Structure 1
Amino acid sequence: MTLETDYLVIGAGATALSFVDTLLAQDPDCDVVMVDKHSSPGGHWNDAYSFVALHQPSALYGVEGVPLGTDRIDESGPNKGFFEQASGPEVVAYFQSVMRDHLLPTGRVRYYPNCEYIGDHRFRNVLSGEETGVTVKRKLVDTTYFATSVPTTHKRKFEVSEGVRVKVPGKLPDLWRDPASVPEHFVILGAGKTAMDAGVWLLEAGIAPDRITWVKPRESWLINRTITQPGEQFFESTVGGQIKLMKAAATAESVPALFHQLERDGAMLRIDTDVEPEMFHYATISEGEVKRLRLIKNVVRKGRVHEIDSGKMVLAEGEEAVPENTLFIDCTASAVSPKPVYPQWEEGKITLQLLHVPLVTLNAAVSAFVEANFDTDEEKNALCKPVSFVDDIDGYAGTLLGTGMNRFLWASNPKVSAFLSQSRLDPGAPTVRWLKENAPERLAVAAEMPAATMAAVTNLQKLVAQAEAKRG
């Protein structure tokens, strides 16, 4: 079988759906074919643990044409006082609705689940084995370059002896089904946001902190959720946090010094203030979550786990005894692995990458707008310069600088600027529109931002050069 389409899109996750949603809105004549391995839209959200939630407020995620959430302020739990963060099941249901009720009814999207792209404009149904060719009149769009790894699908990198219980986080909510199998002790493996989520879940479920051991190969810097909130009620604190970020970036003599200044300013957090972080993945957390996680005192800092035997763990820097009746929770999957970047637009192909870290759905929406409203690949690449994902601390200067430069390019282009001013995915746009109409005097707090940003750019360039020199 052979199909014909304008755009063949590989993937049906958040990035793909955001791109297609904006593309359809900007180009009323285009036709799209989407192929994805999963049986339903939503990408890695289909594989995520049930108690996962967005890092960011629901209002800033998803596709332009369909709001996510109800703009509710949470009144209980670790996120109390902040805008709601959709749970994993809520996000999956949202993306299913986006496809079923928003994209497919246009008649311009054909969606093929359970299918893998095999190259040369062909895809194969993973259940039936049937292959389909596609005549692509405009572009192949690869939305999988920065595909996310989740616990249920990643390949374990350590050995496990027979009889040792190792589960992914998604199995924790099933423990109630067999109370007799509830372990004496829990060991969380990993230091990222998944591990933090698992720790909070165990504590909220009533597990005493002394029954939990946490293996943390690295400590991480974390963004304080206080500075990421949309809405007019948070405008001063959010803009103030961004101004503090720019001012700190303008004066820091090193990237670690930048993080420490942001910690003093309340923009960054760390769980253990006695340990110097080596990792930053843009994880966002509330002070309520940090307070809970600090209750876990049994923290093992001997590097990554290599092997688990009955009663002990073998780690990179030694061994650690654990109770015999222990459940190990594997949170070692890395959300996004750093990869080299290159131009998004090439001959007949778009490879979606990060432009505004870490707002992946905004990246995709801007890319679709640029694709539909500019003529040449040269023009498009000049407006969208991919940014490397940060892994270690020193990489933060580069992501800040790259994101800032893209924001400058977008603000300087009348077309892109007008699009962003109306975008629900752009963090400040809805609030700024509301304030212009209802309380314009409050916008004065943002007057410092342009000068602070310009000063930051010069110093960030120096910090990036330092980081590159350190890497050799």
Structure 2
Amino acid sequence: MTPTQLKTDYLIVGSGAVGMAFADVLVSESDADIIIVDQFAKPGGHWNNAYPFVTLHQPSAFYGVSSRELSNGKFDQVGLNKGLGSLATGAEVAAYFDAVMHETFLPSGRVRYFPMCRSDGAGMFENTLTGEVFEVEAGKTVDATYLKTTVPSTHTPQFEVENGVWFMPLNDLPKIDRKPEGYVIVGGGKTGMDAVLWLLGNSVDPDTIRWIMPRDGWMLDRKNTQSDISFFNSTLGAQALQFEAIAAAESVDDLFDRLEDSGVLLRLDRDVKPKMFHGATVSQAELAEMRRVKNVLRLGRVQKIGVDEILLDQGSVPTGPNIVHVDCSASAISNLKTKPIFEGDLITPQTVRSYQPVFSAALIAHIEVVKDTEVEKNALSTVVPLPNHDTDWIRMMIPFMMNQYNWSRDSDIRDWLTHNRLDGFSGMVRGVSPDDAEKQAILGRMKAASMPAMAKLTQLVGQI
């Protein structure tokens, strides 16, 4: 079949959150022609396969595309997130991205969207339904799939599961139609937390839950991530406490003790030192709920789940055919390698601010639009590595702080951050009245501790 020839300024591979956030800035800040290619039938990327009770872990105000609100400033009135910025459900997020595509992108006349297509990453893609092949002559290609987000429903476990084991991804928890004798949650990350909270929220006795946790993880307090000015003392206060903890730390262990004592980091069990940090965000109410589960198995990773026994790295535990085993072992991001964001005709969005790939994609697109040289663009887009181990928190903070400093010195980017809804924090800071002594004191503490904190981070990296 002869390929259909297409031409565009930007070929964006992937219509997940990163690709959509990047395209949105191109639509609103340039006159570029754009082609978006994606393997799914609808935009939203991994949200197409999300489990039915999934919600965002961070406030909706920080998610989506720059030009369209997701939360409309709502706060949750009930539940474990009560009083905090609303957390959109998976269904809400999927509907949101579909609306962005059909109500903003396509009506612009500058976006062509090709769903159900697989790309080779080099300008060729094929419609999986019709077999039609397309060849694109693109000014630049944006690889919005680089981070390789994975979800439980499409994840292949890295351990053996015997025939006869009652085993499922957490997507299938709501489909259970008979009472199990117990529950085994495999995985200590965000999906494991969601599975535990869903079970407890549906009145499951916590003593019937066993939680296999290969590594405990440090968590963030969601109260410290709010963008509404009413949370200034929590959000910016936590930033000040964070810088002060870093500056005063005498060792890596001392740093994490100080971060925990100041409320910047949380952990499930004060007697177990976490070895993992993925940026999981929880409310204090959620943390209290999770602590109701006392049977936490810290025997390493699962090697095999048999009908009568679970084999782990450091031992084994009994199980049975009437016990549900819930797979929460998928890693949300499967590609932790970093590379330059701007490389000739290829743009590879990655995180330039901790925990925020969507904000990062939007800012990278803005930098692409307003800056001229590749050197200048990359200087403003140092990749902040995605964390895995606990000490990656330290490695992550150095480029994060460097980027914040460089952005503050660029008047265009500084103004963009102040007015972009995905940032939130910059507008909060710029909006503080000079007469507000309490808020100005917090900002003063941040400024005073920032340079000593950066110096200390470089020392602590040497101790890892």
TM-score interval, normalised by the smaller of the two chains = over 0.9
The equivalent of 2:169 in structure 1 is 168
**Which residue of 9, 14, 24 corresponds with 1:11?**
14
Alignment partner of 1:461 is 2:431:
no
**Which residue of 311, 315, 319 corresponds with 2:308?**
311
Deviations 1:99-149 (A, max 9, x none): 11111110111111111111331111122222100011x211111111211
Deviation at 1:442, TM superposition (A): 5.2
Q: Which amino acid aligns with 1:24?
A: V
The alpha-carbon distance between structure 1 residues 338 and 279, as it changes in their structure 2 partners (threshold 3 A), is farther
**Which residue of 49, 52, 55 corresponds with 1:53?**
55
**Which residue of 103, 110, 113 corresponds with 1:111?**
113
Alignment partner of 1:195 is 2:167:
no
Give distance in 1, aligned partners of 2:387 and 2:153: 23
The alpha-carbon distance between structure 1 residues 275 and 462, as it changes in their structure 2 partners (threshold 3 A), is same
Q: Which amino acid aligns with 1:83?
A: G
Deviation at 1:447, TM superposition (A): 2.0
Contact 1:73 1:82 in 2 (8 A): yes
The alpha-carbon distance between structure 1 residues 212 and 98, as it changes in their structure 2 partners (threshold 3 A), is same
After TM superposition, list the pairs within 5 Å mapping 1:243-262 onto structure 2. Answer: 243-262=240-259
**Which residue of 6, 14, 24 corresponds with 1:21?**
24
Give distance in 1, aligned partners of 2:143 and 2:433: 38
The equivalent of 2:143 in structure 1 is 142
Deviation at 1:81, TM superposition (A): 1.6
After TM superposition, list the pairs within 5 Å mapping 1:151-300 onto structure 2. Answer: 151-175=152-176, 178=177, 181-300=178-297
Contact 1:232 1:435 in 2 (8 A): no
SS of 1:366's partner is helix
Deviations 1:418-449 (A, max 9, x none): 11111111131343455459x75554131221
The alpha-carbon distance between structure 1 residues 106 and 187, as it changes in their structure 2 partners (threshold 3 A), is same
Contact 1:312 1:320 in 2 (8 A): yes
Unmatched 5+ stretches in structure 1: 468-472
SS of 1:448's partner is helix
Deviations 1:156-179 (A, max 9, x none): 11111111111111111222xx3x
Q: Which amino acid aligns with 1:382?
A: A
The equivalent of 1:470 in structure 2 is none
Contact 1:357 1:403 in 2 (8 A): yes
TM-score normalised by structure 2 residue count: 0.96
Deviation at 1:260, TM superposition (A): 1.7
The equivalent of 2:298 in structure 1 is 301
User: When the two structures are aligned, how many residues end up with a matched partner?
Assistant: 460
**Which residue of 381, 391, 413 corresponds with 2:378?**
381
The alpha-carbon distance between structure 1 residues 298 and 9, as it changes in their structure 2 partners (threshold 3 A), is same
Give distance in 2, aligned partners of 1:356 and 1:299: 33
The equivalent of 1:406 in structure 2 is 403
Unmatched 5+ stretches in structure 2: none
Contact 1:147 1:336 in 2 (8 A): yes
Give distance in 2, aligned partners of 1:63 and 1:315: 42
Give distance in 1, aligned partners of 2:9 and 2:35: 8
SS of 2:69's partner is coil
SS of 1:400's partner is helix
**Which residue of 87, 93, 96 corresponds with 1:94?**
96
Alignment partner of 1:123 is 2:125:
yes
Deviation at 1:255, TM superposition (A): 3.1
Q: Which amino acid aligns with 1:170?
A: N
Contact 1:338 1:388 in 2 (8 A): no
Contact 2:417 2:427 in 1 (8 A): no
Contact 1:141 1:351 in 2 (8 A): yes
Give distance in 1, aligned partners of 2:129 and 2:437: 60
Alignment partner of 1:72 is 2:69:
no
Deviations 1:187-227 (A, max 9, x none): 00000010001000000101101111111101111001121
**Which residue of 426, 432, 447 corresponds with 1:450?**
447
Deviation at 1:251, TM superposition (A): 2.0
Contact 1:256 1:394 in 2 (8 A): no
Give distance in 2, aligned partners of 1:298 and 1:310: 20
Give distance in 2, aligned partners of 1:11 and 1:409: 29
SS of 1:396's partner is helix
RMSD: 1.5
Deviation at 1:383, TM superposition (A): 1.0
After TM superposition, list the pairs within 5 Å mapping 1:294-443 onto structure 2. Answer: 294-337=291-334, 339-432=336-429, 434-436=431-433, 443=439
TM-score normalised by structure 1 residue count: 0.95
Deviation at 1:182, TM superposition (A): 2.6
Task: Name the % identity.
Answer: 41
SS of 2:84's partner is coil
Contact 1:190 1:216 in 2 (8 A): yes
Contact 1:337 1:389 in 2 (8 A): no
Give distance in 2, aligned partners of 1:392 and 1:338: 14
- Shift >6 Å, 4+ stretches: none
Give distance in 2, aligned partners of 1:37 and 1:95: 15
Q: Which amino acid aligns with 1:61?
A: Y
Q: Which amino acid aligns with 1:130?
A: E
Deviation at 1:325, TM superposition (A): 1.0
